[in-house]
A and B are shown apart, each in its own frame.
Chain A
């Protein structure tokens, strides 16, 4: 059956062990986690996890139900209308020729996040597919390290 990519926004009680319940659920039942981010929701006792997963429709339905079944789960949002963004950091040595880098950063909403005498760190925040493309394109500057954050999403 066809594999569908799905973004889930999961609101859970911000308590000990809740992340292990969720990662354990995915591992134990053989579900995919493509990315997972987590942070507390300000002024509440809750946290928001953004999970990017994939599976056929039956598996995706089970994932949502199994997440609901966990006692600390408050809400699972799976609506198709998400603003979904991802952040990437790329470290490039200063001895590279930066010709064209400015234009590339502009095209991907990027900036230079940090620099010192040996390298610069560029940062982009964009849709996950565009991050894929950016990370391919940036290869020509021979980056020494790349980090991506995983998606964060907000339902609209």
Chain B
């Protein structure tokens, strides 16, 4: 079948079962957009900024587990997309981003809206392509989707010059592909798995350290089962929230810089760490020489380069987590006695009783943590929780009661302010029957505020809850703790009227100062079926605690802040 390059893009998306594309047109990608107009296989959602198109595709991918897809034009369209690519890359999110490029004959001439897009995207994508001949396009698109979703997932960028998208060629789209140079390992080495099980059986104080890989591998059920059979207490990274379910008695909570005391103590006192798809981020480990000092380490990861990158590993297992844990379960039944770890579990539970996550509620002023807990009480598992970046993000991770994987959408590795609203839109499109809450800050929300227009136009009823502290709160907190309260450029008392702002776009706005107002606003928002913004005025000087100051040790957390 002879098709133009643009038609090939549409057909390839159809073959990949893509149901939605987020994007923004421009000169170099107009051929593709002309075919978007003619087709009815997938929905196209016009965002109001390219960064938001990428974040929306990303949020879609995180919530659904499917590959997110976005289109942008050349030059500024592409450069606007870069933050989105980097955000997805740092968190291993499967995505295919297609950009227009100037025609082949003009590449290298500094043509209008020409930029070396593959040169720029190279360090922030899993792989990229500049398509030089339309006959390569079907293969490249097939590879792009395959690479994005297989192995350690990640964004793939395909740059298509304008003439290539017009050229005609044979469209032969393979169902299956095998690549000569890319073959991820899925099955763990049985000998290594056996050794790991022996190590667990011999341990006295084992701990499961669960990372974002468990989400990507869809391994929640297996990990829960393994933990239950072996009776091993677990900690989750920011990216892994929802894997164990917060009701699970084996889950201590989140670890790391703003992790809970018992989780960080479990890591510090363990004699064996069983790492299921984490990456030993510095926000998790604190000072490396003191990190899990007494523990031997089993590390299961699909990416060999992740193993041993930060700390030496005693039992490396390369493979897909779901696959590996599945193989571990029968061995655990046979060789591991969960009673053995009871004293250890009791000790950790005692730690949790001594120093639980907490905050001081008040009747004078709303506390941000209260708002999060309240949404948790009212919506629980009915809501998918998205966030921006800052204090509100950490409080959401700490205080929302998560019960399943992909219920939590946050930018972890890059920490991108402005991610929340567009990602929430993507999550809503992926999960139309869920309530989508975006906990955001008065700083972050302004970084992609234009997306209120997209949400109104495309009828995406996400509920944005601004925990408004009139500060770049997380930075302000560091200034309070480490810079003698010199609040350099973090005061946001000058701010828009958020209620009027959202209403000018056609959404609904609510201003909240009390608990009663909060409940009413949330109820109204849930009924409104349109994009909403609840501007919650909270205590300006609340701090995220506990805290491991950067470079500090996990066993020496700051539990309280004293003036």
**A interface residues, Cβ below 8 angstroms from B:** 12-13, 16-17, 20-21, 24, 28, 45, 58, 61-62, 65-66, 68-69, 71-74
Contacts and interface: CB of A to CB of B under 8 A. Distances in A.
B180 A65 contact: no
Interface centre among A17, A58, A71 (most CB of B within 10 A): A71
Interface string B322-349: 0000000000000000000000000000
Contacts of A61: 308
A145 to B, nearest CB: 31
Given A20-B122, A58-B308, A71-B181, 9 more contacts: A13-B180, A13-B181, A45-B180, A62-B308, A62-B309, A66-B305, A68-B305, A69-B303, A71-B126
B305 A71 contact: no
B122 A21 contact: yes
8 closest pairs, A vs B, by CB? A65-B305, A71-B127, A74-B181, A69-B305, A71-B182, A28-B123, A65-B304, A66-B305
Contacts of B85: none
Nearest to B152: A69
Contacts of B147: 71
Interface string B400-444: 000000000000000000000000000000000000000000000
Contacts of A68: 304-305
A72 B129 CA distance: 11
Interface in B283-342: 303-305, 308-309, 312
B456 interface: no
Interface in B136-153: 147
Most A-side CB within 10 Å, residue of B126, B181, B303, B304: B181
A17 B305 contact: no
A16 B122 CA distance: 13
Contacts of A66: 305
Interface of B: 118-119, 122-123, 126-127, 130, 132, 147, 179-182, 303-305, 308-309, 312
Contacts of A73: 181
Contact of B305 (A58, A62, A74): A62
A12 B122 contact: no
A58 B181 CA distance: 25
Contacts of B119: 20
Nearest to A28: B123
A62 B182 CA distance: 18
Contacts of B309: 62, 65
Contacts of B130: 16-17
A84 to B, nearest CB: 25
B311 to A, nearest CB: 10
29 contacts: A12-B181, A13-B180, A13-B181, A16-B132, A17-B118, A17-B122, A24-B122, A24-B123, A28-B123, A45-B180, A58-B308, A58-B312, A61-B308, A62-B305, A62-B308, A62-B309, A65-B305, A66-B305, A68-B305, A69-B303, A69-B305, A71-B126, A71-B127, A71-B147, A71-B179, A71-B181, A71-B182, A72-B181, A74-B180
A122 B305 CA distance: 44
Contacts of A17: 118, 122, 130
Nearest to A67: B305
B445 to A, nearest CB: 32
A16 B130 CA distance: 9
Contacts of A71: 126-127, 147, 179, 181-182
A65 B313 CA distance: 15
Contacts of B303: 69
A58 to B, nearest CB: 7
Contacts of A12: 181
A20 B118 CA distance: 10
Contacts of A72: 181
Nearest to A73: B181
B285 to A, nearest CB: 15
Contacts of A62: 305, 308-309
A103 B119 CA distance: 50
B134 to A, nearest CB: 16
Contacts of A24: 122-123
A89 B126 CA distance: 40
B132 to A, nearest CB: 7
Contacts of B304: 65, 68-69
Nearest to B181: A74
A53 to B, nearest CB: 16
A123 to B, nearest CB: 35
A16 B305 CA distance: 24
A83 B164 CA distance: 45
A126 B262 CA distance: 61
Contacts of A13: 180-181
B144 to A, nearest CB: 11
B434 to A, nearest CB: 35
A64 to B, nearest CB: 9
